[in-house]
Structure 1
Amino acid sequence: MNKKLLTYLLLFTSLTFGIAQSGRGPNQITLSGKVLDKDNGLPLEYATLVLQSVDNPGQVTGGITDIDGNFSVETKPGTYNISVEYISYKTYRLNNQELNSSRDLGTIRIGIDVEQLEAVEVVGEKTTVEVRLDKKVYNIGKDLTTSGATVSDALNNVPSVNVDVEGNISLRGNDNVRILINGKPSALAGFGSTDALRQLPADAIEKVEVITSPSARYDAEGTAGILNIVLRKEKTLGFNGSVNVYAGYPIQSGITANANLRTDKFNIFNTTGVRYNESPGNAFFDNTYTSGSFDRILEVRDYDRSGKNFNTNLGMEYFLSDNSSITGSIFMRFSEGDDTTDNSNSRFNNGALDSRTFRVEEELEDDESYQLSLNYTKDFNDDGHKLTADFQYSTGNEIETSRIEENSIFPDSELIVRENVINDEEEKEYLIQADYVLPIGENAQFEAGYRGTLENTITDYQLDSLDQSSGNFVINRNLTNKFTYDENVHAVYTQYGNKFGKLSFLLGLRLESTQLIGKLESEFDSEALQEELGVDVDVNFDKNYLGLFPTVNLIYELGEMEQISLGYNRRINRPRGWFINPFPSRSSRTNIFQGNPDLDPAFANAFDLGYLKRWQELTLTGSVYYQKETNSFERVQEQTGQTTTDGIEIVRSIPINLATNERIGAEAGLLYSPTRWLRLNSSFNLFRFSSEGVFNGVDYGTENTSWFARFSSKVTLPAKIDLQTNAFYRGPSQNAQTESEGIFSLNVAMSKDVFNDNGTISLNVSDLLNSRKRRSFTETDFFTSRSEFQWRERSVTLAFIYRFNEQKKRNGQGRGNGYDDGEEFEGGAK
């Protein structure tokens, strides 16, 4: 290894000296071209072009490629042996070339040399952020604070992304984010929910793509943008893999295994994880009322959650030829949850304690998901001309059974209510997709494709209440219902990209047809339900929408290491099934959530102006963005006019279409690596949000300015010990009815390489200061509420990972894996 490194250093030195001495003269000719990775089409920066004179072998000149893989070298006319070299890649050779005039060698594609790769140790780490025409790519595999953690935990360390205390994901402060796995909707990410991301292991991720200005290839769903989670899969020959074992407190334990077997004809890959965790949490509510039997109610809640889950993803890629392959995989996830909530309730009148109750709710959850995926890839040539086709079938079933009992404990002891709730949700999704890519010349590229997604969700809800006079449970016919919801989306797109000098552009247009169908089955009087929701509401509906979604992405290179970008796109936010289901579901006797079948999709136009500057040790990224959304969703709370049997006002939450909302903001990120042993990473996002709209005679317009910041440091100490600190702060925020205080959290971790770098031991403390709590204040014309909520208390995790035939650090990318949804026309800095 040292000899090879010395050889490359000597070669680089001689080339640099030769170039410096060559100068310009009347007999000079220019040799130009571009070097790309053969498998994924990415430019190879710092690839070496070597020109060796045939007549005088001691005469060697050449040059290196720039950030876009381009080279341009001047030399004297003559006969040369030409080679292009890159560490761990196969050498490209052209021998005995007569060069009498300037020549463009065009695009040169080279691939990984598997045998050499096994012997290469790359001292530097892969760039943390890669900037493309329509996205930023963050490689998070070396984040120590995610060892033994989940995908949801890992996303919270990605700039521009925030995961709140309840697991809700937002991008730049906007929670309408489209989550994709390997470029496609997936059961791995959950059906319209992010709960599944809390069960998948973080070490299954290779990278996260933050797509704030999606091109036409991507779904138009998600007004905030798209998060594409790309899963790991090794690309080197032979058998390799890793095993990660972890345990922690509060009680958590698990094991995740990644395995890969690759030959010249096939590649078998698998990720399997087993996890058990306990998540103690707590909440406090101080509510005041202007009506009802009490003027103040204090609630103290303790959450005791536990979960067991198993997930596995098994697949095989079969190489039909050197230019085509078919990939099949099956994913399965099984989980069991047991959550117990204790609620102590104190009621006051005129400052004096009137009564106390104690409520216990136990929720058992059984969840299973399956997904079958097939992919076909055909490379017509080495220039990027290709066709991909995908089929995916996903199905899931989630059964939630809740047992609720509430008793009066002061001044008398008696049973108030006992209920059983059964919520059975079945989901199915079909996806068919085809993408065609045609390079045109050296820099241009044309794409076209189709995607169809058919989703069906059936929610069967039943509430049984104890009849204390008979001692039997009786079905509550007013709340028991079955709701079927279908969302069918068909889309075609086309886009064209090119580069002229320093300007790269990508223009696209997507046409989407959306059909939303709802069907309600219940014994409850539908006219009474319509009267409660609104006279124009139809609980059984069939809605159709047709929309055009243009996209424009531009990059202009101000210099070799500096660029600006401009993006525009139009997006849609479709209501999910639980937002439309008109029957109320109860989180407590006093708070209900009710869907609104009259919801229409929201549409948004977004602009993004970005900047990137690289220095030798510092990378700066920044952007200013603006978004205007019409028919935006907002959850509001209002009176129902009803009270519980013991006189407490019942409050309803319901989603509505507000008129508009506007969001303007700016963000900046810094990556600083002054030495090999220190890496600093920080980001800052400031945004202003305003909305306007009226519902049931109440004005829900609001304005809010908020911000969040993230800082991470990684220090490498002697004896191969790494220390990492991640700090996050989200500033105060508010919506139409609720103000939330700022939240600060701090994660720290350390690791030590063992067993000749094949193993790593790490210790991770999440939320070191136990400060990750949401504190908020809600005010309406009929009640106020001050609350504090903590989803999970501080946790400590000890993990050990052992790698089989894997290098801890690699350079370069291997053969495509059949999940190339993100590999499209690119320009500018990488």
Structure 2
Amino acid sequence: MKKHIYLIAILLLGIGSSVRAQFPMGGGITPTKALPGTAGDQSPKGNARITGYVLDSAQTKAVEFASVALYNKTTGKAVDGAVADDKGKFTLSKLVAGEYRLLFSFVGFRNKTIDDVKLTSGQTLDLGVIRLSPSVKTLEEVNVVGQAALIEEKVDRLVYNAEKDITAKGGDASDVLRKVPLLTVDLDGNVSLRGSQNIRVLINNKPSTIVASSVADALKQIPADQIKTVEVITSPSAKYDAEGSGGIINIITKKNSLQGLNLNLDSGVGNRGSSLSLNGNYRKGKAGFTLGGFGRANYNTITRTSLEQTSRVNDVTTTTRQTGDGSSSGLFGQYNLGFDYDLAKNQSLTAGVRYGVRNFLSQQDLVTRLFTNGLPSSTASRNVDAKNLSGTVDANVDYLHTFKPQQEWSISTLYSRNDLTNNFDADLLGTTGALTGRQRNLNKNINEEFTLQTDYQTPIKKNQLLEFGVKAILREVNSDYRYLIAGPTGDFRTETNGTQGELLYHQNIAAGYSSYTYTTKNRYTLKGGLRYEHTFIDASTRESGVLGIANYGVLVPSLNASKTIKGTSIKLAFNRRIQRPGLQQLNPNFNAANPQNITIGNPELLPELTNNFELALSRTIKKTFINASFFGRVTNNAITQVRQPSDTLPGAIVTTYQNIGRQYTYGTNIFGNVAVTSKINVGIFFNTFYTSLTGQELGVDGLSKTLTNDGFNVSGGTFASAQFRKGWGVQAFGFLQGSQVQLQGRQGGFGFYTLGVKKDIANKKGSVGLAAENFLNDRFNIHTVLNSPQLSQISDVYLYNRGIRLTFTYKIGKMTMEAPRKKARSVNNDDVKSEGGQTQSGGTTGGGQPRQ
């Protein structure tokens, strides 16, 4: 009772948990003491201990849930046992001095025995790393387990092991995410989860302000060959921030826990892009350092567009016919410095600094013809040069104190800043091609935030876990914008219509949560949680002064249940999510790089609230793994793009963001993976969902009109990989996205496919590869049709993205394996919706392990 009173006191003080509970394959909490059927509970208790780690000798990774049995060497009877956690760690405690024998076993591996284990009173015997060798015979019988390295289904998430993807060499994170089941990535890099772009994206479990600006841009800065896994969490628990109505995507980059010095070189060159990365790791004793850099150049990217749109204002019908030819180029880089140190046996400190840079340049020549009531009225040409530049700094310091297995306390801090420049210059040309005028839009944005959180978790008995924590985020967004004009020569001057101003947006969040996990004797696992977040907003513009946006609080419940019945894993989940508007949706800058398609943000946007329901089934049938999930979403105040005719520029369409009302989505995802042989793997996935949208459109007459639209969205794809002798490997991937329902029409679909081959060299120290994408088509056409009572728009975007690239990797240095190290947890900010509907990302746990 005293212990529980002490725990309640800690809860009231606001200390919470941040390390996930350990689950066995059946969904329960991992036992750390005697195995069922052993005499562990009846054996005499002493004060000696045995610890160690169980690793796969072939892949040098943890063997999760491996069984460890301790036998009395004299009698041959089992006296104690344990199960390794997801790091491979095991502990046998309260042992009596004597001589013992240890037996290690797990399905798919050969048993391993350690004889002559001698313990003295009070001794702690660290066995270090125990390597289990794969069993060839067993792998043939359960071959899909060996192939599960590609796709893994866990208690609360689907895991895609990107390190197995040989076609991604030389690409970026968007190339990897295209192949992850449940996800859709368009050709601009915008990510959707089950049709929703209202998602959270975590990068190494840490947030970054660049993601708040645009997930698509952030993904371009992450090299594909540095990604270890991608985790898709469709029903997050209360530990996660309440943001992200669609779910969470956690991108884990490659790390190691080796002693010594290691240097990895990755490079690629192709007809549309080149990349180079150099990453080093050094570890000695209690300290470890990482230093790395990655750079990528995109070039030779051609885009052609055609647009025909009609707007109706005051009984005047204006038709716009426009063609465009353009190209783009970009330089992307990411540089990081990391440090971790073991302050004591049960305490660790982790710190890191990461800098990301993006220099994206685009050029487009536009020819626009206007027709008024069916008669030609004007022809105009303009050449536009746009700059999208950013520099992002993330710095974190994290502390972790482990009291005993599953009882931990952490403090995490994060400072993040993104300086974003989004400018364009336009030359206006007459009918003869002579320069008649110039335009310039200057837009400087700063997104800055500081986060502090503390978490605590503790087990209650052997089948219960209690977690709770508190968190504070201080966020400031500033956007300074100006619109300038000039003649063919001379200086620029501010345009007289007042298209200049400044947005200052403060958003502070205070949050607290509690989560409880309970596993029954029949292996039912229930995990429930409650989170409360209160948001304080202080927003103003130079022109309008204080905007008067009210503060708001939200209570976010979550419930997850799982059970395995006759080999079929069943999961049932419910959660509520909140989606706050992001920088690009708030930014009131009047972007008229294309004066017929103008975009402007809305600083008065309110958050949207979504209720999610999910039923998921997964089963392994011989060599086939099947996963099917059925889901539903109901969203209020959905943030959606709305288009309406301009009342000042003839024929122009203005796109902004509004809280349209309500959105319903229901659908299913089906995924199958077949291990044809131990070397050949084939998969297929299919996604379909029905969407219904209802919202209001404000006409130029000031009257609101109700808009509705609904329909089915379908996508799917397939992949195959094969490994051959002498280090050869081949992989293929294809994906097809159907058209997508929008409030005012449907956005066109697209296709994407790749084929790659790789050859290991120098005793697997290096590799060379060749990958081709969209090699059968010279271009893709995205055909979009939008309609409303006031406008109609038909656009075609032709993307010329046929590509081929050659890759080369090499590892330098000699490393020795040590036991995996437990790192301090990191901050998780993932609560802001970004351009195109993406969300800012954040992470929670260090060492590449996400929270539940």
**Structure 1 length normalisation: TM-score?**
0.83
Relative contact order higher in (CA < 8 Å, ≥ 6 apart):
2
- 1:783-802 aligned at under 5 Å gives the runs 783-790=791-798, 793-802=801-810
Task: Choose which of 228, 232, 235 in structure 1 pairs with 2:257.
Answer: 235
- 1:750-761 aligned at under 5 Å gives the runs 750-761=757-768
Task: Choose which of 718, 740, 745 in structure 1 pairs with 2:747.
Answer: 740
SS at match of 1:145: coil
Task: Choose which of 240, 249, 264 in structure 1 pairs with 2:285.
Answer: 264
Match of 1:668 in 2: 670
Match of 1:594 in 2: 600
Letter in structure 2 aligned against 1:454? L
Task: Choose which of 327, 338, 346 in structure 2 pairs with 1:315.
Answer: 338
Counterpart CA distance in 2 for 1:173 and 1:813 is 41
SS at match of 2:175: helix
Match of 1:298 in 2: 321
Match of 1:433 in 2: 453
Counterpart contact for 1:687–1:706, Cα < 8 Å = yes
Counterpart contact for 1:246–1:800, Cα < 8 Å = yes
> Structure 1, residues 693-747: CA drift from partner, whole Å, max 9, x if none?
2233222221121121121100123332111111111122221212234322111
Match of 1:150 in 2: 172
Counterpart CA distance in 2 for 1:93 and 1:461 is 73
Match of 2:162 in 1: 140
Counterpart contact for 2:737–2:749, Cα < 8 Å = yes
Match of 1:653 in 2: 655
Deviation of 1:325 (Å): 0.9
Specify whether residues 185 and 635 from structure 1 end up closer, same or farther in structure 2 by C-alpha distance, changes over 3 A only.
same
Deviation of 1:150 (Å): 0.8
Counterpart CA distance in 1 for 2:687 and 2:527 is 26
Counterpart CA distance in 1 for 2:563 and 2:371 is 65
Deviation of 1:773 (Å): 3.8
Match of 1:455 in 2: 475
Match of 2:849 in 1: none
Match of 1:75 in 2: none
SS at match of 1:221: coil
Specify whether residues 153 and 700 from structure 1 end up closer, same or farther in structure 2 by C-alpha distance, changes over 3 A only.
same
Counterpart CA distance in 2 for 1:764 and 1:36 is 45
Letter in structure 1 aligned against 2:774? D
SS at match of 1:154: helix
> Structure 1, residues 458-484: CA drift from partner, whole Å, max 9, x if none?
11111111146x844220251011111
Counterpart CA distance in 2 for 1:118 and 1:681 is 27
Match of 2:9 in 1: none
SS at match of 1:675: coil
Specify whether residues 757 and 413 from structure 1 end up closer, same or farther in structure 2 by C-alpha distance, changes over 3 A only.
closer
Specify whether residues 583 and 127 from structure 1 end up closer, same or farther in structure 2 by C-alpha distance, changes over 3 A only.
closer
SS at match of 1:598: coil
- 1:408-807 aligned at under 5 Å gives the runs 408-409=430-431, 412-467=432-487, 471-477=490-496, 478-500=498-520, 501-522=522-543, 526=544, 540-559=547-566, 561-643=567-649, 648-696=650-698, 697-770=704-777, 772-790=780-798, 793-805=801-813
Counterpart contact for 1:449–1:492, Cα < 8 Å = yes
Letter in structure 2 aligned against 1:765? A
Letter in structure 2 aligned against 1:663? T
Counterpart CA distance in 2 for 1:233 and 1:66 is 21
Letter in structure 1 aligned against 2:298? N
Specify whether residues 811 and 205 from structure 1 end up closer, same or farther in structure 2 by C-alpha distance, changes over 3 A only.
farther
Match of 1:342 in 2: 365
Counterpart contact for 1:92–1:110, Cα < 8 Å = no
Counterpart contact for 2:103–2:111, Cα < 8 Å = no
SS at match of 1:152: helix
Specify whether residues 662 and 350 from structure 1 end up closer, same or farther in structure 2 by C-alpha distance, changes over 3 A only.
closer
Counterpart CA distance in 1 for 2:274 and 2:454 is 41
Counterpart CA distance in 2 for 1:143 and 1:769 is 21
Match of 1:374 in 2: 397
Counterpart contact for 1:80–1:96, Cα < 8 Å = yes
**Structure 2 length normalisation: TM-score?**
0.80
> Structure 1, residues 352-401: CA drift from partner, whole Å, max 9, x if none?
876543211112343211111111111112x2211121111111212233
The answer to which of 162-171 and 286-295 deviates more is 286-295
The answer to which of 546-555 and 149-158 deviates more is 149-158
Deviation of 1:603 (Å): 0.5
Match of 1:194 in 2: 216
Counterpart CA distance in 1 for 2:568 and 2:126 is 27
Count of aligned pairs:
751
The answer to which of 59-68 and 383-392 deviates more is 59-68
Task: Choose which of 254, 269, 272 in structure 2 pairs with 1:247.
Answer: 269
Specify whether residues 375 and 763 from structure 1 end up closer, same or farther in structure 2 by C-alpha distance, changes over 3 A only.
same
Match of 2:241 in 1: 219
Deviation of 1:600 (Å): 1.3
Specify whether residues 612 and 495 from structure 1 end up closer, same or farther in structure 2 by C-alpha distance, changes over 3 A only.
same
Letter in structure 2 aligned against 1:206? K
Counterpart CA distance in 1 for 2:442 and 2:690 is 41
Counterpart CA distance in 1 for 2:246 and 2:527 is 20
Counterpart CA distance in 2 for 1:691 and 1:334 is 37
Specify whether residues 395 and 418 from structure 1 end up closer, same or farther in structure 2 by C-alpha distance, changes over 3 A only.
same
Counterpart CA distance in 1 for 2:225 and 2:177 is 12
The answer to whether structure 1 residue 397 and structure 2 residue 397 are counterparts is no
Deviation of 1:769 (Å): 3.5
Counterpart contact for 2:326–2:362, Cα < 8 Å = yes
Deviation of 1:402 (Å): 1.6
Counterpart CA distance in 2 for 1:813 and 1:743 is 46
Counterpart contact for 1:54–1:96, Cα < 8 Å = no
Query: Aligned residues: percent identity?
Result: 24
Specify whether residues 429 and 734 from structure 1 end up closer, same or farther in structure 2 by C-alpha distance, changes over 3 A only.
same
Deviation of 1:598 (Å): 3.2
Counterpart CA distance in 2 for 1:110 and 1:189 is 43
Counterpart contact for 1:582–1:595, Cα < 8 Å = yes
Specify whether residues 401 and 350 from structure 1 end up closer, same or farther in structure 2 by C-alpha distance, changes over 3 A only.
closer
SS at match of 1:642: coil
> Structure 1, residues 394-425: CA drift from partner, whole Å, max 9, x if none?
1121223321012132xx55545411111111
Counterpart contact for 1:281–1:793, Cα < 8 Å = no
Counterpart CA distance in 2 for 1:141 and 1:231 is 9
Specify whether residues 719 and 193 from structure 1 end up closer, same or farther in structure 2 by C-alpha distance, changes over 3 A only.
closer
> Structure 1, residues 130-154: CA drift from partner, whole Å, max 9, x if none?
3333322222111112111111221
Letter in structure 1 aligned against 2:163? G
Counterpart CA distance in 1 for 2:495 and 2:113 is 74
Counterpart CA distance in 1 for 2:346 and 2:319 is 71
Counterpart contact for 2:53–2:129, Cα < 8 Å = no
Counterpart contact for 2:260–2:814, Cα < 8 Å = no
Specify whether residues 767 and 690 from structure 1 end up closer, same or farther in structure 2 by C-alpha distance, changes over 3 A only.
same
Match of 1:25 in 2: none
Specify whether residues 726 and 520 from structure 1 end up closer, same or farther in structure 2 by C-alpha distance, changes over 3 A only.
same
Deviation of 1:204 (Å): 2.2
Counterpart contact for 2:571–2:615, Cα < 8 Å = yes
Counterpart contact for 1:267–1:318, Cα < 8 Å = yes
> Structure 1, residues 411-454: CA drift from partner, whole Å, max 9, x if none?
x5554541111111112111112221212222321111122222
Counterpart contact for 2:443–2:589, Cα < 8 Å = no
The answer to which of 270-279 and 214-223 deviates more is 270-279
